[in-house]
Amino acid sequence: MKRVFNFSPGPAMLPEPVLRRAQAELLDWKGSGMSVMEVSHRGTDFVEFAAKSERDLRELLNVPANYKVLFLQGGATLQFAAIPLNLTAPGAVVDYVVTGNWGEKAVQEAERYVKVNVAANSKATKFTTIPDPSTWKLSTNAAYLHYTPNETVFGVEFHTVPTVSDAPLVVDMSSTLLSRPIDVSRFGLIYAGAQKNIGPAGLALVIVREDLIGHARRETPGVVDYKLMAENDSMWNTPSTLSWYFAGLVFEWLKEQGGLTAIGKVNERKAKKLYAAIDGSGYYKNPVEKPHRSWMNVPFTLPSEDLDKPFLTAAKSAGLTNLKGHRVVGGMRASIYNAMPEAGVDALVEFMADFAKRHG
Ligand SMILES: *Cc1c(COP(=O)(O)O)cnc(C)c1O
């Protein structure tokens, strides 16, 4: 068996110790004689496991007591619709800041239900920057302000929380949640699909301030009615038990790594190494303005598109996979979430230098 360094943007790498533990527990979970996939979500074992996973997540993120933590299905994309359904009345106005394609998609979905004011959009720069918050055209009575702290495709990230609006901040942290400490109390609602930095696909986390829930529109489906799901410990219907289980193992692994402060330092170091290698190469280029570069997703181009294929082929033979950039950006993209070991970034940096020398 040979594991590779998998730079996929998602579904992405999981920590190897988590996979090994799941493997060891697969046929007989907690002495039940069954796998975790085969037990009732209402049985004591799963209910206890679920409660512990929530406690671990709350501890990792230091989630204040007046926030609910929900383990939902439908990915981050279902939340694009669930958020306006839960948080706004018909006729309300909401502000969205668009810094990439995920923000665009969030707008498209929200527009089905609510009047969306796009307060800022960096499309004209090909999503290589974050528009200065002082220039955002905010509405006076927005029910919330939505933005995407890390745009996964373009590799552009907010490194500070904007303070220009009084409206609750609603953030799609799909590709950055758990990568470093955050102050949850700054946000009204945080959501994330799991398959980037949390666990396997099939699970979405929602962390929402209590006072924002309980006003869902009548037509809100029960499975994304935050109050209903909170009252039922995210088990109003059958949850995605296997994905939840993996997420719980990832939380335990993160605690063993020293929590988010420790992993954040590793992530910052990994990103710095890779950007330094790109900027110092005179060969590779990253288009994103330096203060807004992502720690998680690092796009880069080669001097010519003709080199893309040889690069990808040689990288794959070196055990470095899934480096192809998104079709709208081209070139390469290295996604370096929590589960990517620093050794993987070191191997990539070394490979890139060697490739540039051979094809310079
Ligand atoms: C991947 C991603 C999504 C979509 O997640 P799904 O789970 O496929 O719905 C949304 N937003 C961001 C920032 C993402 O990276």
Which tens digits make up the pLDDT trace of 283-310? 999 999 999 999 999 999 999 999 999 9
- 315 lies in a domain? yes
Q: What is the CATH number of the domain that holds 205?
A: 3.40.640.10
166 is catalytic: no
Does the beta carbon of 193 lie inside 6 Å of ligand 1?
yes
**Atom 13 of ligand 1: nearest residue by CA position:** 174
Does the beta carbon of 128 lie inside 6 Å of ligand 1?
no
**Atom 5 of ligand 1: nearest residue by CA position:** 76
* Gap from CA of 305 to ligand 1 centroid (Å): 27
Domain finish residue from 256, 276, 301 = 256
172 is catalytic: yes
| 106 and 120 both lie in a single domain | yes
Task: Using pLDDT thresholds of 50, 70 and 90, give the confidence band for residue 269.
Answer: very high
Q: Which pLDDT does position 188 carry in this prediction? A: 98
Let me know if 242 is exposed, middle or buried by CB neighbors in 10 A (0-12, 13-18, 19+): middle
- Do residues 174 and 30 make contact, with C-beta atoms less than 8 angstroms apart? no
Q: Which two tokens stand for residue 279?
A: 């900027």
Q: Which two tokens stand for residue 149?
A: 């702290």
> What is d(CA 93, CA 104) in angstroms, rounded to the nearest whole number?
17
Tell me the per-residue pLDDT of 129-178, one tens digit each, with 9 for 90 and over: 999 999 999 999 999 999 999 999 999 999 999 999 999 999 999 999 99
Domain finish residue from 228, 256, 284 = 256
Instruction: Characterize 265-275 residue by residue with b for buried, 16 or more Cβ atoms within 10 angstroms of its Cβ, and e for exposed.
Output: ebbeebbebbb
Does the beta carbon of 76 lie inside 6 Å of ligand 1?
yes
| 243 and 270 both lie in a single domain | no
Q: Which pLDDT does position 222 carry in this prediction? A: 98
| CA gyration radius, the chain | 21
Ligand 1: which of 104, 175, 189, 195 to mutate, judged by most atoms within 8 Å of the beta carbon?
175
- Do residues 118 and 140 make contact, with C-beta atoms less than 8 angstroms apart? no
Q: Which pLDDT does position 360 carry in this prediction? A: 86
- How many Cα atoms sit within 13 Å of 90 on the Cβ side? 4
- Do residues 171 and 158 make contact, with C-beta atoms less than 8 angstroms apart? no
| 133 and 41 both lie in a single domain | yes
Q: For residue 277, what is the enclosing H or E element?
A: helix 259-279
pTM of the full structure: 0.98
Q: Of 29, 102, 253, 295, which is the active-site residue?
A: 102
Q: Which pLDDT does position 294 carry in this prediction? A: 98
| 233 and 291 both lie in a single domain | no
Does the beta carbon of 172 lie inside 6 Å of ligand 1?
yes
* Gap from CA of 196 to ligand 1 centroid (Å): 8
Tell me the per-residue pLDDT of 169-215, one tens digit each, with 9 for 90 and over: 999 999 999 999 999 999 999 999 999 999 999 999 999 999 999 99
Does the beta carbon of 333 lie inside 6 Å of ligand 1?
no
Average pLDDT over residues 25-33: 97
Task: Using pLDDT thresholds of 50, 70 and 90, give the confidence band for residue 1.
Answer: confident
- 9 lies in a domain? no
196 is catalytic: yes
| 227 and 137 both lie in a single domain | yes
| 244 and 274 both lie in a single domain | no
**ω into residue 181 within 30 of 0, thus cis?**
no
Does the beta carbon of 245 lie inside 6 Å of ligand 1?
no
Q: Where are the strands (E) in the chain, listed by range?
A: 5-6, 67-72, 93-98, 115-121, 145-147, 150-151, 156-157, 169-172, 189-193, 204-209, 297-300, 320-321, 332-335
Q: What is the CATH number of the domain that holds 298?
A: 3.90.1150.10
Residue 273 belongs to domain spanning: 259-359
Measured from the Cα of 74, ligand 1's closest atom is: 9
